[in-house]
Structures are given as C-alpha cells and as structure tokens.
C-alpha cells in the first residue's frame, strides 16, 4: 500500500510542485518579448502574431479540462509526465519552423502539453494537503506562478536581443525537458483513491454538476476575468513599449517584472490572511482593488499620459489584486468541487485561459497602435471580475439568513 501522500511530501516535493505551477506562465510569458520580432520576420500583422499567444491559450484551456478528468481517473503522475513530453515536442517544432502558420502550430502543440501543469499542480495540492491547508498552499503556489513571468520576461527579452526569437523556444523546450526528468524521479502518485472516479467517469455529468453550483461558477469566472486583465496587459504592453514608445525588448522585460512582483505581493497578503478571513471576502477585496487600479490606468491612458510609469504602476496594483483574489477563488472552487477536485481544478484553468485567450485576441483585433484598446478591454474585464467576486459573498449572506 502506498504511504499517505502528506508523509512523503518533503521540501523537494514542494519545490517540484512549485516548478510545475511556474511551468505554464514561463512557457507563455517568455515569448511575449519575441512578438514584435516575429511580426517583422514573417512580415505579418499584429492580429496574426497574437495568434501565437491567443490560440495556444484556447488550446490550453480545453486541454486542461481533459487533463483534470483524466487525472481523476488514471492518476496525476502519468498524465503530468505525458503533458510535459507533449510540450517539449511542440517547442522543438516551433523553434525549427520557417513559416508563421507552422510556428502557430508548434505553439499550439506546446499549449496542448502546457495545459496540464497548472491544473494538475492544484489537484495534487488538494490530494496532499487537504481542504484545511489548501488556501495557504495555493497562495504559495501562486507565488511560484508569478515567478514564471518574473524570470521569463527578462530572460525572454535578453534572448530576443542577443539570440533571436527562436532562442526563446529552445530555452523553453530545454526547461520542459529538465522539469520532466525531475518529475519522473521525484513526483509520486497522490491520487490513490481512483476506483470511484473510474466508475463515475462522465465528463458531461461532472461538468454539469459543478457548473450548476453558482458559487463554483462565480469563483472560476472571477478567476477568468481577473486573468483576462493580466493577459491583455501582457500582450499589449510589449507593443506599447517596443513600438509605441520605442524602447528595447530588454527594457520591456525589466518593466514587465512589475506585474509578477505585484502578483507575488498579493499572494503574500493572501497567505497571511489564510484561515483568518473567509475566501469569499478576500476574493471581493481583490476584485475591488483590481477594478480601481484598472480604471486608474485607463484614466491616464485616455488622458494621453502614456509613459512606462502610467502603464506599469497601476498595472502593478491590478496584478497585486489578482494575487489576493486568485488563490482564494481557486481554493474556493476546488473545495466546492469536493471529490471532483481534479475536474474542478481543470475547469478553473479552462475558464481562466479561455478568458485570457478571448481578451487577448480581442485586443489583437482592436489594436491600432495606440494604448486605448488595452485600456478599454482591461476596464471591462475588471468590472466583470468584480461582479463575479460579489456573488459568493451574497450567497453566504443569504445562507446565513436562513
């Protein structure tokens, strides 16, 4: 009989779990500084280049649904290792291409693999640490999630400046291969009670069961809209900094650190209040800050005050707000999901990435070389996040009044 997972979850296991969490954002954000160079080399439009980000996000979103359900049935470890192998194959294909559409196809293959990491890491955390410690653990994992872009944006900018955009894909693939080897050696199976999941394996039934819960839906939609704010800023700011303001890619990478730094700050705040403040209240607080910061940024940009400071300082507080709300929304959704934790986690990732891809591509279609499309999209997404953030508090208040 396999030992209880929590007795085997030593420091190295936690580090690996954090690396799995950072895997997806690193693979995404390391490519952002390359977008202008890709556009120039293939002589294409901003909307087409954005497909290298938005289309992979859509694929990651749908892949995460299947990874979550497959891991509920077959276990976390084999599904995780398979997803990493697929990511490495996509990285190789994308790095070797001479055609924009083949590059997009390689990025899609990357995404099909990368969609497994984030959701599976949360499900593994649920298996190992249980509901009582989940908020705090996921707060720490979200810090690792933020370290991905914090490390990858400067690295990506430097690689683009000194090695070209293909070097970005080579480094991403090498990291994936290294992580896969470590997971193969260290990661043990955490989902040992799979008999019931196998008997009840029905995607449509499970999805209907979870989405019929209004609190679960509100949590995952709030996560989606807040993530949409971040990805819209991430896609837009590379063009604003490099093309609109004429700054080098390496400088963009340094300014971009403000976003993951804000996310880490928010995650620290979330971990400090874990167990003392109800998750739904933390989600509401984060949603309010997110909307305030996003509208402040939009005010500067619509007023014509466009500088790195007016872009990234309000952006820092917007992403700080996401760092506060996201761990609590994720934990709330997984706890509500109960025995369908893997499926619930997969749905959470799906909604996040679907919203991110949708808002990113909307930006690509609206982009006109000015900061105004970003300001408008971010404002709408932040307002929708607040609407979703209010619902769990209202539901709890109604239940308490009964």
Over 70: is that where the pLDDT of 151 sits? yes
pLDDT at 199: 41
321 within some domain: yes
306 within some domain: yes
pLDDT at 162: 85
pLDDT at 146: 66
- pLDDT tens track for 253-274: 788 889 888 988 998 898 888 7
Whole-number Å distance between alpha carbons of 309 and 311: 5
Residue 313: CB atoms within 10 A of its CB come to 17
Give the H/E segment covering residue 385. Answer: helix 372-401
280 within some domain: yes
Whole-number Å distance between alpha carbons of 361 and 298: 19
pLDDT-derived band of residue 382, with 50, 70 and 90 as boundaries? very high
Tokens of 385: 């996040």
Tokens of 39: 């556009």
Residue 178 to residues 78, 149, 158, 172, Cα–Cα distance (Å): 16, 18, 21, 10
CA angle 130, 136, 137 (to 5 degrees): 65
pLDDT at 2: 39
Whole-number Å distance between alpha carbons of 391 and 219: 9
pLDDT at 200: 47
- pLDDT tens track for 64-82: 777 877 887 788 888 889 9
Using an 8 Å Cβ cutoff, are 299 and 354 in contact?
no
Which residue, 229, 249, 230, is CA-closest to 32? 249
Ranges 102-116, 196-210, 245-259, 359-373: which has the least confidence: 196-210
Using an 8 Å Cβ cutoff, are 79 and 65 in contact?
no
Average pLDDT, the chain: 83
205 within some domain: yes
Domain CATH for 394: 1.20.1250.20
Whole-number Å distance between alpha carbons of 230 and 235: 9
Residue 59 to residues 37, 270, 346, Cα–Cα distance (Å): 24, 30, 13
Rounded percentage of the chain residues whose pLDDT exceeds 90: 28
Whole-number Å distance between alpha carbons of 142 and 130: 17
278 within some domain: yes
286 within some domain: yes
CA angle 396, 398, 402 (to 5 degrees): 115
2 within some domain: no
Average pLDDT over residues 131-150: 70
CB contact set of 1 (below 8 Å; sequence gap of 6+): none
Q: Is 75 helix (H, G, I), strand (E, B) or coil?
A: coil
Whole-number Å distance between alpha carbons of 394 and 214: 11
Domain containing 195: what range? Answer: 10-401
339 within some domain: yes
Number of domains present in the structure of the chain:
1
Bigger pLDDT: 53 vs 42: 42
CA angle 314, 315, 320 (to 5 degrees): 100
């Amino acid at each position: 009989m396999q030992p209880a997972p929590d007795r085997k979850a030593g420091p190295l296991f936690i580090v690996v779990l954090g690396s799995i969490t950072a895997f997806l954002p690193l693979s995404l954000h390391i490519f952002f500084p390359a977008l202008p160079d890709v556009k120039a080399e293939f002589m294409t439009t901003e909307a087409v280049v954005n497909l290298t980000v938005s289309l992979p996000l859509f694929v990651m979103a749908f892949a995460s649904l299947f990874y979550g359900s497959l891991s509920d049935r077959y276990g976390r470890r084999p599904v995780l290792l398979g997803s990493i192998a697929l990511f490495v194959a996509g990285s190789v294909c994308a790095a070797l291409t001479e055609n924009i559409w083949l590059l997009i196809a390689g990025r899609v293959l990357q995404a099909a693999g990368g969609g497994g990491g984030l959701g599976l890491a949360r499900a593994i955390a649920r298996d190992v640490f249980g509901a009582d410690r989940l908020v705090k653990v996921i707060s720490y994992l979200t810090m690792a999630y933020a370290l991905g872009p914090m490390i990858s944006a400067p690295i990506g900018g430097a690689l683009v400046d000194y090695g070209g955009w293909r070097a970005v894909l080579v480094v991403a693939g090498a990291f994936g291969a290294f992580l896969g080897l470590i997971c193969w050696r260290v990661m043990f199976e955490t989902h040992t009670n799979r008999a019931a999941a196998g008997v009840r394996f029905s995607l449509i039934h499970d999805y209907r069961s979870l989405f019929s819960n209004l609190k679960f839906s509100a949590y995952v939609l709030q996560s989606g809209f807040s993530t949409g704010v971040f990805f819209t800023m991430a896609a837009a700011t590379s063009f604003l900094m490099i093309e609109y303001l004429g700054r080098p890619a390496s400088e963009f990478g340094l300014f971009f650190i403000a976003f993951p730094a804000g996310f880490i700050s928010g995650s620290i705040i979330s971990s400090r209040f874990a167990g003392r403040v109800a998750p739904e209240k933390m989600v509401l607080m984060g949603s309010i800050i997110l909307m305030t910061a996003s509208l402040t940024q939009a005010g500067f940009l619509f007023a014509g005050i466009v500088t790195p400071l007016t872009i990234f300082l309000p952006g820092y507080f917007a992403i700080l707000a996401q760092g506060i709300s996201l761990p609590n929304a994720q934990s709330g959704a997984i706890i509500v999901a109960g025995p369908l934790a893997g499926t619930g986690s997969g749905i959470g990732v799906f909604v996040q990435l679907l919203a991110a891809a949708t808002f990113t591509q909307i930006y690509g279609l609206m982009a006109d070389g000015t900061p105004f499309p970003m300001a408008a999209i971010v404002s709408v997404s932040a307002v929708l996040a607040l609407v979703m953030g209010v619902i769990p508090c209202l539901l709890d208040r109604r239940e308490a009044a009964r």
